[in-house]
Amino acid sequence: MANAATQVLLPTSFSDPTMTAKSQETWKENLNMQLICKECREDPPNLVEDFAAGDTICGSCGLVLGDRIVDTRSEWRTFTNDDQNNDDPSRVGDAANPLLNGSQLQTEISFSGGASGKSRDLSRTQNKVTHDKSTKTLLAAYKELGAFCDGLSLPKNVSDTAKHLFKIVHDKNAFKGKSQETVIAGCIFIACRQCKVPRTFREIFALTKVPKAEIGRIFKNLEKFFAEQNEEKKKAAQAGGAIDLNNPEFNSTESTTPKELCVRYCSNLNLPQQCNILSQDIAKKLESIGSLAGRSPISTAAACIFMASHLLGMGKTAKDIAPVAGVSDGTIRNAYKLIYVEREKLIDPAWIKEGKVELKRLPNA
């Protein structure tokens, strides 16, 4: 039998790709600078930064390698000034508030209980000199406006928008014959509409005690005033070729629709999301049909919720919905009579086909 050819493998028969790549790399100078102790020459070096003295010291032999180093740590720590007799060592003030006038950069002479009489006199004198009546009026108005927004459980963006609108009115010295509460009520009403969380005149009246008719008048006057301010800004921007980013353009508001009110009323009635969607769908179709044209959006939204809750078998009575919507149960029933006639047009056939709703559950008008 013929012997098979034997192949002798030598060490040079195999090539290591990593070794080949390393051999092909060109030599490069290491330009990274590293500070080491010239006495110890340890690598890596054992260096200690003494920020109190501003020196860089070798931790092994104690040789000073550098001086005047910059301390990049925080200058100090404060724990709500509890252990410092209310003496805040911070050298920076609050951030600039765009809702107040002026640069807001000033130095105040502090005064505490243990200070001398001269410190007290200097503090009083400075307060008299730097006293700004305009800023004080704005701060008082903002405090009142914030309290009203908290009473209506409005989000922060609504409060900030209302404050911005009030500042525009205050800077122009407009509506001098109107009380401050009336202007604040109008600004809150407009801010609610702009931020898509509408509130009714009745809700603003219940909080601010400004009559509904007065709120309606100031609302129309404010809308006209802000529209005129917009036109002036546009003309000034065209003439100067600049845009004022600090004062954004005012967008005129639209009237509140029943669909927008259904969301909040369903939430206050603890109704499920399915009822919320159905009531909004009914309210949207009512706008095209026009069965409740001319009626208040509040009564329309209440009637839509009344119908939707019965269609889903969660029947809410008119007396249950009345306190949430702020209308009488008779008003809700009268509005329901008008939309009951159009019930087949208002309800999507797909809902009936899927068995989600049943027309026979609706009470007779």
Residues 91-100 have pLDDT tens digits of 555 666 777 7
Coil, strand or helix: which one is 220?
helix
Q: What is the mean pLDDT of the chain?
A: 80
Q: Out of 30-39, 73-82, 292-301, pick the least confident.
A: 73-82
- For residue 269, pLDDT over 70 is answered with yes
Identify which of 93, 92, 51 has the alpha carbon closest to the alpha carbon of residue 72: 51
| Token pair recorded at residue 293 | 């044209």
pLDDT value of position 72: 73
- For residue 105, pLDDT over 70 is answered with no
Residue located via tokens 């898509």? 196
How many Å apart are CA 92 and CA 78, to the nearest integer?
13
Roughly what angle, to the nearest 10 degrees, separates helices 133-151 and 180-194? Answer: 60
> How would you class 16 by CB atoms within 10 Å of its CB: exposed for 0-12, middle for 13-18, buried for 19 or more?
exposed
Interval 191-215 mean pLDDT: 88
| Token pair recorded at residue 302 | 């209440």
Q: Out of 95-109, 207-221, 319-333, pick the least confident.
A: 95-109
Interval 93-108 mean pLDDT: 67
- For residue 121, pLDDT over 60 is answered with yes
pLDDT value of position 35: 84
Residues 130-176 have pLDDT tens digits of 666 777 888 888 999 999 999 888 999 999 999 999 999 988 888 88
| Token pair recorded at residue 47 | 């260096």
143-150: long-range contacts, CB 8 A cutoff, minimum separation 24:
144/180, 144/181, 144/184, 145/184, 145/187, 145/188, 148/184, 148/185, 148/188, 148/207, 148/208, 149/188
How many Å apart are CA 291 and CA 288, to the nearest integer?
9
Identify which of 258, 190, 243, 251 has the alpha carbon closest to the alpha carbon of residue 218: 190
**Ramachandran angles phi, psi of 181, nearest 5°:** -65, -35
Coil, strand or helix: which one is 65?
strand
- For residue 85, pLDDT over 70 is answered with no
How many Å apart are CA 249 and CA 226, to the nearest integer?
9
Residue 227 confidence class, pLDDT cut points 50, 70, 90: confident
How many Å apart are CA 87 and CA 111, to the nearest integer?
10
- Give the predicted TM-score (pTM) of the model: 0.64
Q: Which residues contact 267 (CB under 8 A, 6 or more apart)?
A: 276
Residue located via tokens 């404050």? 163
Residue 187 confidence class, pLDDT cut points 50, 70, 90: very high
How many Å apart are CA 275 and CA 268, to the nearest integer?
13
Roughly what angle, to the nearest 10 degrees, separates helices 318-325 and 297-311? Answer: 140
